[in-house]
Structure 1
Amino acid sequence: MAGHSKWANIQHRKGRQDEKRGKLWTRVIREIIVAARHGGGDPKENPRLRLAIEKAKAVNMPLDTVKKNIDKATGNLEGVAYEEVRYEGYGIGGAAVIIDCMTDNRVRTVAEVRHVFSKYGGNLGTEGSVAFQFKHVGQLIFAPGTNEDRVMEVALEAGADDVVTHDDGSLEVLTAPHDFEAVQAALEAAGLKAEMGEVTMRAENTVELAGDDAARMQKLLDMIEDLDDTQDVFHNAVMG
């Protein structure tokens, strides 16, 4: 199901995130604003806001900044009105790509997304053109060498749907989106800390790319990530 370079792909993504700390703050702020606007400003009653606050902590965002943006979203402070929009398309070798954006100008955003696709060898598709190839799940990734039996025992007991062992030795715990927090908490309580944990769109099937095709696909993904309005990018390419 997954290629040998699953772990390498994840490490590349983490490295890219570390390079762009300022842009990460912008993304997290937008996520906080939208989550609070739709579900209210109380994290106890708003799971999406809880996850956004966890992301804020992970990038060392001050609590004052978090609170200020919750206040903006709930009407206590004046702020920009962002809306969520999703684009779907194809990358190198027909690899499927989903881009989640938050924007205050849809016309600008779609033009920028279309430009990147066309310039770097992809094609912007229509709504629904690739989404069927992905599943909305909670996902926790553990580094190669993590105790597989222990992860499996704790995760499944806490309500996880599956634990996948990849060729490179990394472990992937899959949950229903609403079970993610409980499973993550149970694993952490057992001393099992994931390298990456999120509610995401996970590809049901993968496209293996190597050599020049892999490099071109990575360039396309990096340029999409660099767009100001991009929040998340999901794809089914495994690059060797």
Structure 2
Amino acid sequence: MSDPDDEPRGYASPACSMHELDPAYMGLPADPSQVMSWRKLERARLIEARMAVPASVRAGHAAAIGRALDAEIGDPAGRTISLFWPFRGEPDLRFWMEAASAKGAVCALPVVVEKRAPLQFRAWRQGDRMERGIWNILVPADGAEVVPDIVIAPLVGFDAACFRLGYGGGYFDRTLARLNRAPKVIGVGYELQRIETIRPLDHDIPMDVIVTELGTAMRRG
């Protein structure tokens, strides 16, 4: 289904200037500045749509995502798994973190320690002291720094190639690019966040798996 914003309005642009609107339309290389402008608008649209979902529906989606994570990961014992504290309508997987921890996993939360720097992963257990981090999100105040075997990342949007549209800070891509040992990376979100393409650029790193309330999608190739 096409996005209403893609429907023609008034006169169509002449073919000779179409590249000014979308280089991909003409098969030209993506212009990063145009891609970033498009992503900003798409990000706002998707976040608004996500936050409009009733809390009861989001809770049901989170339960389904939790079951899909169980099937994808299997026994979490002995693994270090990074998740996230829910923000702006993201799936609330704190129940899943608690269950994984009880089964012997080391759970962690990502922490922004410096602007435009890789994330730090801090161990977390239910009852640990928390503090406010960037965007006022709660993060572990005293958790030991760990290196995750599995990174479960929230997403704003995603496409069939398992590329993730995030909040625009580039923290996850920057972090994944610098880890000495590549973790398994799972993006989680809702089906309503599926888009045709995020228009990936050179720095974008695809997820290994995307999990939504409808199941699991694996990266192609």
Q: Which TM-score applies when normalising by structure 1?
A: 0.29
Q: TM-score, normalised by structure 2?
A: 0.31
Higher relative helix content: 1
